[in-house]
Amino acid sequence: MNPIHLVPFLAGMTLATAQTPVPSPVVWQMQDSGTTAGLRGIHTVDGTVAWASGTGGTVLRTTDGGAHWTKCAVPDAAKDGSTLDFRGVQAWDGDTAIVMASGPGEKSRLYKTTDGCNTWKLVFMNPDKDGFWDAFSVADNNNLMVLGDPVGSEFTVLSTADGGTTWEKIHDNGLRSNAKEGAFAASNSSLVVLWDDGVSAFGTGSTSGARLFYECDPCTRKAMWTSSALPMFSKGTVAGIFAIEYRDWRHWLAVGGNYTKPNEPTGIAARSSDGGLTWTASTTQPHGFRSAVQWGESLQAWITVGTNGSDISRDDGKTWQPLDDGNWNALSLPFVVGPDGRIARINPAALAPPAVTKGTPAGTEANPSKVK
CATH of the domain at 125: 2.130.10.10
Question: Is pLDDT larger for residue 196 or for residue 116?
Answer: 116
Give the per-residue pLDDT at 30: 97
Of 219-233, 280-294, 303-317, 322-336, minimum mean pLDDT range: 219-233
- pLDDT, one tens digit per residue, over 285-325 is 999 999 999 999 999 999 999 999 999 999 999 999 999 99
pTM of the model: 0.88
C-alpha closest to that of 104 among 134, 133, 132, 126: 132
Alpha-carbon gap, residue 65 to 43, rounded angstroms: 12
pLDDT over 90, % of the chain: 83
Give the per-residue pLDDT at 145: 98
Residue 20 lies in a domain: no
Bridge partners of residue 157, in order along the sequence: 147
Q: In this model, does residue 216 exceed pLDDT 90?
A: no
Alpha-carbon gap, residue 224 to 170, rounded angstroms: 10
Mean pLDDT value of segment 153-167: 96
Alpha-carbon gap, residue 10 to 19, rounded angstroms: 10
Supply the range of the domain harboring residue 36: 26-351
How would residue 9 be classed by pLDDT, with cut points 50, 70 and 90?
very low
Residue 365 lies in a domain: no
How would residue 222 be classed by pLDDT, with cut points 50, 70 and 90?
low
How would residue 354 be classed by pLDDT, with cut points 50, 70 and 90?
low
Give the per-residue pLDDT at 355: 52
User: Residue 37 in contact with residue 72, Cβ under 8 Å?
Assistant: no
Give the per-residue pLDDT at 224: 87
User: Residue 145 in contact with residue 194, Cβ under 8 Å?
Assistant: no
Cα–Cα distance list, 126 to 14, 101, 135, 138, 205 (Å): 59, 10, 13, 17, 22
Give the per-residue pLDDT at 372: 25
Give the per-residue pLDDT at 129: 96
Residue 133 lies in a domain: yes
Residue 214 lies in a domain: yes
Mean pLDDT value of segment 331-337: 98
Phi, psi angle pair for 351, to nearest 5°: -115, 20
Q: In this model, does residue 198 exceed pLDDT 70?
A: yes
Q: In this model, does residue 361 exceed pLDDT 50?
A: no
How would residue 25 be classed by pLDDT, with cut points 50, 70 and 90?
confident
Alpha-carbon gap, residue 96 to 257, rounded angstroms: 34
HSE-CB at 240 with a 13 A cutoff on CA atoms is: 26
How would residue 220 be classed by pLDDT, with cut points 50, 70 and 90?
low
Output the average pLDDT for the chain: 89
Residue 9 lies in a domain: no
Q: In this model, does residue 359 exceed pLDDT 60?
A: no
Q: In this model, does residue 148 exceed pLDDT 80?
A: yes
Give the per-residue pLDDT at 217: 74
How would residue 21 be classed by pLDDT, with cut points 50, 70 and 90?
very low
Residue 6 lies in a domain: no
Mean pLDDT value of segment 79-106: 98
Produce one character per residue of 283-302: b if its CB has 16 or more CB atoms within 10 Å, e if not: eebbbbbbbbbbbbeebbbb
Of 179-188, 210-219, 230-239, minimum mean pLDDT range: 210-219
Residue 304 lies in a domain: yes
Residue 18 lies in a domain: no
Mean pLDDT value of segment 348-352: 86
Mean pLDDT value of segment 364-371: 33
SS3 199: strand
Number of structural domains found in the chain: 1
